[in-house]
């Protein structure tokens, strides 16, 4: 039996199938909903594929993050060297960067300069312009720490075939008794000097940074005072300035 209800401008037909399947359109929605979503097997397959992809990519991501932290530490050391040079020239007082290899830290320190060793305003430790004060005069920037997993070295690391930049040799004591701390000193003109105020030898001064995955960076100070960050390219077997 078919019922027809007519009104102004429209007609609604309801046949026997409407009684069996409910309101118009419900059967279509049921068929669409029956095909929506994923089966449990499909979800498990997708999860398994994602797990494999993540497992393959994770070591590469870890290496990239480790390299980034190492390069950031090297850049920070270079920035502090430039700051020490500027402090020395602007305050007309020798400055140095103290790098503690064992503690993996570095900080800026003002040295005696023209402070007398006796008399008014004296410090008994100031027998040389490049001596530290009896109570160390550290810069307000404070003590800086390397990122976890990174380390410092004063000698050329094993497996590296050449020195970075203008450096021509290891400091005295390498490799049996490597220097610690490593100190970069600047005179009142902002020029790098040794502990007696003499110009640097061996092409300048260098500090090496070694990452958790074996990546090696170096920060050099040339005889002219330029601070440069270098990265050792294992495949190419040479240093590249960053």
Domain 63-106+149-241 fold is: minor pseudopilin epsh fold (3.55.40)
| CA-based radius of gyration for the chain | 35
The CB-based long-range contact list for 109-114 (8 Å cut-off, 24+ gap) reads: 109/136, 109/137, 109/138, 109/139, 110/137, 110/138, 110/139, 111/137, 111/185, 113/188
**Domain map of the chain by residue range?**
63-106+149-241
Q: Kindly tell me the number of DSSP H helices and DSSP E strands found in the chain.
A: 3, 13
Per-residue model confidence (pLDDT) at position 40: 76
Arithmetic mean of pLDDT, 196-217: 94
| Span 118-147, pLDDT tens digits | 998 899 999 999 999 999 999 999 999 999
CA distance 84 to 230: 20
pTM of the model: 0.75
Mean pLDDT of 36-57: 71
pLDDT (0 to 100) of residue 52: 72
- Weakest mean pLDDT among 60-74, 128-142, 193-207: 60-74
Model confidence pLDDT, tens digit, residues 136-187: 999 999 999 999 999 999 999 999 999 999 999 999 999 999 999 999 999 9
- Judged on CB neighbours under 10 Å (0-12, 13-18, 19+), 61 is exposed
The yes-or-no verdict on residue 237 having pLDDT over 90 is: yes
- The predicted structure's pLDDT at residue 12: 47
Band of pLDDT at residue 28, cut at 50, 70 and 90:
low
């Amino acid at each position: 039996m078919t019922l027809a209800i007519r009104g102004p401008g429209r007609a609604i037909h309801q046949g026997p199938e409407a009684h069996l399947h409910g309101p118009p359109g419900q059967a279509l929605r049921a068929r669409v909903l029956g095909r929506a979503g994923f089966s449990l097997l499909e979800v498990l397959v997708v999860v398994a594929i994602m797990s494999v992809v993540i497992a393959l990519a994770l070591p590469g991501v870890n290496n990239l993050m480790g390299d980034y932290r190492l390069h950031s530490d090297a850049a920070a050391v270079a920035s502090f060297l430039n700051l020490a040079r500027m402090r020395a020239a602007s305050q007309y007082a020798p400055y140095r960067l103290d790098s503690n290899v064992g503690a993996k830290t570095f900080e800026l320190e003002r040295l005696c300069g023209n402070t007398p060793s006796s008399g008014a305003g004296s410090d008994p430790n100031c027998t040389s312009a490049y001596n530290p004060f009896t109570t160390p005069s550290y810069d307000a920037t404070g003590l800086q720490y390397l990122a976890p997993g990174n380390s410092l070295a004063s000698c050329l690391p094993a497996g590296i075939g050449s020195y970075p930049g203008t450096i021509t040799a290891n400091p005295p004591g390498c490799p049996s008794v490597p220097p610690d701390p490593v100190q970069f000193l600047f005179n009142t003109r902002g020029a790098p000097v040794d502990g007696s105020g003499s110009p640097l030898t061996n092409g300048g001064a260098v500090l090496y940074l070694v990452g958790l995955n074996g990546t090696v960076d170096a920060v050099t100070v040339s005889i002219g005072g330029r601070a440069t960050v270098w990265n050792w390219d294992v495949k190419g077997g040479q240093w590249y300035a960053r």
